[in-house]
Chains A and B, each alone.
Chain A
Amino acid sequence: GQQVMQIPQYQHVQEGEDFTTYCNSSTTLSNIQWYKQRPGGHPVFLIQLVKSGEVKKQKRLTFQFGEAKKNSSLHITATQTTDVGTYFCAGAPEGGSEKLVFGKGTKLTVNP
């Protein structure tokens, strides 16, 4: 079955440093979604990417969908303590299997 791999599993940064998490799917995706889960909270939808090569920005967050629609990345510029949490990617397979597959997430901690 389809697998979505996410790296790194953990990332610890100093406040102000940049952070990137990567997501790779074993199959082509129709879209990819990103979620953030704060400690003690629940996943919250951040964004969806649909087009090959698509890049979207939300303030300090930049999301990218690969040309082959099998990989994606989330980059945070100048991290802040409010960025702490686990970031999950989730891929919707192309071809009709209506089931989102989540990566295991990247847990980000930020040292003030």
Chain B
Amino acid sequence: KAGVTQTPRYLIKTRGQQVTLSCSPISGHRSVSWYQQTPGQGLQFLFEYFSETQRNKGNFPGRFSGRQFSNSRSEMNVSTLELGDSALYLCASSLNRGGIYGYTFGSGTRLTVV
């Protein structure tokens, strides 16, 4: 079966701009979680969507937002980009909430803010 698809794979944006990242989970998976990965900070949880509702949220500013559509596809948006937002953004798909029985990760979107 198809894996988790994240688009785009790479992005270069300028400070102050906004960006939207997309994630299509594995067919049948209703939970999509987003993580930010930077070299020094490991995997930091952004938020989780399940059945189109945000179920959990990490400690990120309000500039980071997301949504999930009825087909379980999810988008995350970052507004007013800062240099520190440069990171690999990973989407994780799971059958159950919270990835408690395991995640399948997408290949990620590498965002560079200049």
A contact residues vs B (CB 8 Å cutoff) = 30-31, 33, 35, 41-45, 48, 88, 90, 92, 97-105
B contact residues vs A (CB 8 Å cutoff) = 35, 41-43, 45, 48, 55-56, 90, 96-108
Contact A42 B106 (CB under 8 A): yes
Expressed in whole angstroms, the Cα–Cα distance for A33 and B100 within the complex equals 9
Which B residue's beta carbon lies closest to that of A6?
A: B42
**Count: A-B pairs, CB below 8 Å:** 57
Q: Is the interface of B mostly helix, strand, loop or mixed?
A: mixed
Q: How far is the CB of A88 from chain B (nearest CB, A)?
A: 7
Q: How far is the CB of A58 from chain B (nearest CB, A)?
A: 14
Q: How far is the CB of A9 from chain B (nearest CB, A)?
A: 10
Instruction: Please name 17 pairs of A and B residues whose Cβ atoms are closer than 8 Å in the assembled complex, sorted by A.
Output: A31-B101, A42-B107, A42-B108, A43-B90, A43-B103, A43-B105, A45-B103, A88-B42, A92-B99, A98-B100, A99-B56, A99-B99, A100-B98, A102-B35, A102-B42, A103-B42, A104-B41
Contact A98 B97 (CB under 8 A): yes
Q: How far is the CB of B33 from chain A (nearest CB, A)?
A: 8
Residues of A within 8 A of B56 (CB): 98-99
Q: Which one of B42, B43, B97, B100 contacts A31 once the chains associate, using CB atoms below 8 Å?
A: B100
Contact A99 B102 (CB under 8 A): no
Q: How far is the CB of B5 from chain A (nearest CB, A)?
A: 12
Contact A42 B99 (CB under 8 A): no
Q: Which one of A44, A98, A100, A105 contacts B42 once the chains associate, using CB atoms below 8 Å?
A: A105
Residues of A within 8 A of B107 (CB): 41-42
Contact A99 B42 (CB under 8 A): no
